[in-house]
Structure 1
Amino acid sequence: MNPTAYNAALLVIACVFASSFLLTSYRILAGPNSIDRLLGMDAIAAMMQCALATYICWTLDTSVSYAMIVVALVGFISTVAVARFRKRDDA
């Protein structure tokens, strides 16, 4: 593949991730209840994994894969913990 086209595609992907991080951050801050905030935090964890995978593709440095595993585990454990101990929101 042409390196210029490859870098351009990765740049577009990075811009899409940046905009999705901003939109998801808005959902976390303005969420009307805790489930919306939990869903936003879960989406941030998934996007962080995808962003790290994009970084691996861009730099060809696989040492970041350990960070991807940590982000996946922390995202899973935090989602389960919040879902387990969540109290109902006042409607």
Structure 2
Amino acid sequence: MSNATGDTRRPAPGRGQLLAPLGLLGAVAVLATHHDGLPFWLGALLGTVAVLGHLACFDSPRGLWQWLPALVGFCAAFLFAGQFLSALLT
């Protein structure tokens, strides 16, 4: 849907906008239980891909239904970064 100014409104979040925060939450869950080994590095890879996906999907969220997953993903990205850094530094 577009209006006279050419802005495209997307009221509902797309598939990528739902997968990015879910990927971040999955990475946080993996890093919360595994602090070394292959599961740690797979969780770190999943989190890195999810952060990049979050940056690509939420470049300009429009409407409440796009801001909610963007906020969840933003908070999960900070949790992921904190867990990743604490696991590397200990």
Task: Flag the structure with higher helix content.
Answer: 1
- Higher RCO (CA < 8 A, seq sep 6+): 2
TM-score normalised by structure 2 residue count: 0.47
TM-score normalised by structure 1 residue count: 0.46
